[in-house]
Amino acid sequence: MKPAHWANARVGCIGVSLWFGVTIVLAVPGCSLIPKGDKAMRDAQIDQQHERSHGEARVAVAMGAAGPRLSELWQSGSAKAFLPKGAPQEVIFLNTSGGLTGGDRLALSLEVGAGLHFTGTTQTAERAYAAVSGCAEVQVNLTVGAHAHLDWLPQETLIYQASALKRETTVALAPSATCLLCETLILGRHAMRETVTRAQLQDRRLVLRAGRPVWAEALALTETSLAARQNPALLAGAQCCATVALIAPGAEDAAQALRPLLAAEGCETSLSAWDGRAILRLRAAEGWPLRRQLARILGQLRGRPLPRVWQMNGDLA
């Protein structure tokens, strides 16, 4: 039996015992010491020992006698969902693991019943951390019933150096349903002057109406594309980018009202609209000008302010 003052901690495949200020390095039974130079073996050992987060959250809302009512709530692992008091037409998703790395899995599902006007968002920015091996995977499934509308407005995704993330967002619209979507990417931690030169991102979005595709987009970031970020056809040197999509009859008319808002200091914005679709693309060197411009655009399209969780870092009005 160890003395009470003998603290034992496991670090990788070695045990470090502290006894009267003397550090003794011991091999842990069942583990082999890995030569310092063998990075592949060392990474494999670390990958085996690290826990992986898995989370799933499903929310379904339907029209009740007094307005929206919750018809299903399922949450497990690191994924949580809650409906804030005083905002009955809004759901907030949260990943309690604090971020995503290789091997993590996150699934979010939201079903909006017929006749509802609903908003889905996230409590904070999602973070894609460096991955030793494997890829983090996120699956988002959104279903919108007849004559219903969904604003899907997650906050930013932060892409860290050496991260690996695969995300798929699928929106299934009833024939008379509509939606407004927004996705934002920020490359690196700007306060730390981090420049992302190596990352893997596969980000796919698909909108179906009555089972038929009406809009699809696939974004891929690799070491090669990041090296060419100065290309005007890519990021033109920007560190942040966003896509906004309105899928609704008359989206072209809504786009006309946005044109006076396209000019914004510190953020470049482009707009195209056709056949019930309005697509905006934004890019900026810093996150705050991009967020302010998104607030202007989304506020115009929604006819009301952004969800309160978007206001955590300052007033966007």
Give pLDDT tens digits along the chain (317 positions).
444 433 333 333 333 333 333 333 344 444 444 444 555 555 555 555 567 899 999 999 999 888 788 999 999 999 999 998 866 799 999 999 989 999 999 999 999 999 999 999 999 999 999 998 899 999 999 999 999 999 999 999 999 999 999 999 999 999 999 999 999 999 988 777 778 989 999 999 999 999 999 999 999 999 999 998 888 888 888 999 999 999 999 999 999 999 999 999 999 999 999 999 999 999 999 999 999 999 999 999 999 889 999 985 555 55
Q: Verify that 106 and 36 share a domain, yes or no.
A: no
- State both tokens at 28: 């842990």
Q: Are residues 42 and 128 in the same domain?
A: no
Whether 65 and 23 map to the same domain: the answer is no
Number of domains in the chain: 2
Considering the domain architecture, whether residues 209 and 231 belong to the same structural domain is answered as yes
Res 65: pLDDT: 82
Question: Is 1 inside a domain boundary?
Answer: no
Rounded distance, CA 106 to CA 76, Å?
Answer: 10
For residues 80-108, one letter each, b for 16 or more C-beta atoms within 10 angstroms of the residue's C-beta and e for the rest, the string is: ebebeeeebebbbbbbebebbbbbbbbbb
Looking at the structure, tell me whether residues 75 and 32 fall in a common domain: no
Are 39 and 62 in the same domain?
Answer: no
Residue 102 in 3-state DSSP? coil
Q: How high is the pLDDT of residue 285?
A: 93
How confident is the model at residue 47, as a pLDDT? 52
111 and 248 inside one domain: yes
Domain-located, residue 317: no
Residue 279 domain flag: yes
d(CA 13, CA 41): 12
Any domain includes 2: no
Same domain, 114 and 206: yes
- pLDDT at residue number 34: 44
Q: Is 116 a domain residue?
A: yes
Q: Report the distance separating Cα 290 and Cα 245, nearest Å.
A: 16
222/286 same-domain check: yes
Residue-range definition of the domain harbouring residue 173:
55-311
Residue 77 and residue 35 share a domain: no
305 assigned to some structural domain:
yes
Is 122 part of a structural domain of the chain?
yes
> Taking a C-beta distance cutoff of 8 angstroms, is the pair 175, 202 a contact?
no
**Considering the domain boundaries, does residue 293 fall inside one?**
yes
Query: Concatenated DSSP letters for 114-163?
Result: TT-EEEEEESS-EEE-B-SSS-EEEEEEEEE-TT-EEEEE---EEE-TTB
Q: Does residue 11 sit in the same domain as residue 150?
A: no
Of 120, 113, 61, residue with least CA distance to 93: 120
Q: 67 and 25 in one domain? A: no
The rounded Cα 215 to chain-centroid distance in angstroms is: 20
